[in-house]
Amino acid sequence: MQHVDYLIIGQGVAGTLLAHFLQAHQCSVHVVDAYSEHAASQVAAGIINPITGRRYVKSWRVDDLIPFARTTYRELEQALGVRIFHERNIIRTLFNSREENDWLARTAEPGYQQYMLDQAVLDSYATHTLLAYSYGEVTHSAQTDLPTLTRAFREKLRREDAITETKMDYSQLQLAADGFRYGNFHADRVVCCEGAWGEQNPFFSYLPFGGAKGEVLIVRIPDADFEKIMKHRVFIVPLATQDHYWIGSTYDWKYEGPEPTEKGRSYLEQRLKDILQAPYEVLYHRAAIRPTVKDRRPFLGQHPEIDNLYIFNGLGTKGASLGPYWAHHMAAHLQEGKPLDPEVDIWRF
């Protein structure tokens, strides 16, 4: 029987980052993950956007989250030998004078100047898109390559013989006096990081999971050379592969399954055609469910009745920015006994 400090269920961005921070605490981890092309981390653009919504407000705790995310992804780039964190400003279309006025008013507010420019520099968007009324530009934003992160980390886990690539069978998880038995493993603690599948977890399904489906297109736009991200109803996000862009996304609370739909595709193509003045080719059409939570705060904490059984989930629409900070917070709670922030602790339910 192999002993590990932690069994981590799920290796999206949540499980990956938690495993990373627990290993940094010198803990032994074993991950159980059934890779799915419908995992949110495989479909997301990984945008980190400090200014969101129609009212241009700062995202929750962004002053702490963004610097922490940048440091963590840079560390992981070094450790894994891949590029994950791409700093990219976001050009935001302002459709009329009211939006422009609201934007300009916001840029003058304390705490906002560092994130917002009143004048946007369009670069090649000026020649390849239909010009709109006006634009603002967001700084300190980024695109994180979550598929590359999870793939490179999975390869590291394989080299360490620290991953089982199958679905977790909870009927085989046995509670013992000194932790858990699962197959050949004896684990002191189990942490569930299953994204939207957390809703089916027999121990945590009581939590108020939401679930919001998102569809995206990966397109090729030859010679557009977009470096920045553009938000014009949908996002256009440059990807690491030359001429490839992520176009997304839809947002649906009601859905039948995680598969892409014709309706989603035509919505996205229409939004792209509304703005793009260049030929494009659709390469892939993908979909996934975001692990959203009713109160829009992550799920961290221990099961109310079973000691040593934990959850780290609920990263919702913002796994790229929330993941590093809260995975670190969770690891510090598990290893150093630091109290969980009540805003994210599942005791709030």
Ligand X SMILES: Cc1cc2nc3c(=O)[nH]c(=O)nc-3n(C[C@H](O)[C@H](O)[C@H](O)COP(=O)(O)OP(=O)(O)OC[C@H]3O[C@@H](n4cnc5c(N)ncnc54)[C@H](O)[C@@H]3O)c2cc1C
Contacting residues toward ligand X, per CB under 6 A:
9-15, 32-36, 39-41, 43-47, 167-168, 193-197, 214, 216, 248-249, 288, 290-291, 313, 315-321
Residue placing its CB nearer to ligand X in the complex, 102 or 261: 261
Name the DSSP class of 59. P
Give yes or no for a contact between 58 and 139, defined as CB atoms under 8 angstroms apart.
Answer: no
Q: How far is the CB of 98 from ligand X (least distance, A)?
A: 26
Q: How far is the CB of 301 from ligand X (least distance, A)?
A: 15
Q: How far is the CB of 309 from ligand X (least distance, A)?
A: 14
Residue placing its CB nearer to ligand X in the complex, 134 or 173: 173
C-alpha neighbours within 13 Å on the C-beta side of residue 197: 18
Q: How far is the CB of 168 from ligand X (least distance, A)?
A: 3
Q: How far is the CB of 258 from ligand X (least distance, A)?
A: 9
Q: Which helix (H) or strand (E) holds 82?
A: none
Per-residue CA distances from 145 to 34, 66, 195, 227 (Å):
20, 15, 17, 15
Residue placing its CB nearer to ligand X in the complex, 224 or 320: 320
Per-residue CA distances from 202 to 100, 133, 296, 347 (Å):
49, 51, 22, 18
Report the chain's C-alpha Rg in angstroms. Answer: 21
Q: How far is the CB of 48 from ligand X (least distance, A)?
A: 6
Residue placing its CB nearer to ligand X in the complex, 34 or 104: 34
What gap in Å lies between CA 253 and CA 28, rounded to an integer?
38
Q: Which residues contact 305 (CB under 8 A, 6 or more apart)?
A: none
Residue placing its CB nearer to ligand X in the complex, 46 or 179: 46
Please give the single-letter amino acid code of residue 90. I
Give the CB-nearest residue to ligand X: 12
Residue placing its CB nearer to ligand X in the complex, 50 or 195: 195
Core vs surface per residue 262-288: b (16+ CB within 10 A) or e: eebbebbbebbeebbeeebeeeebbbb
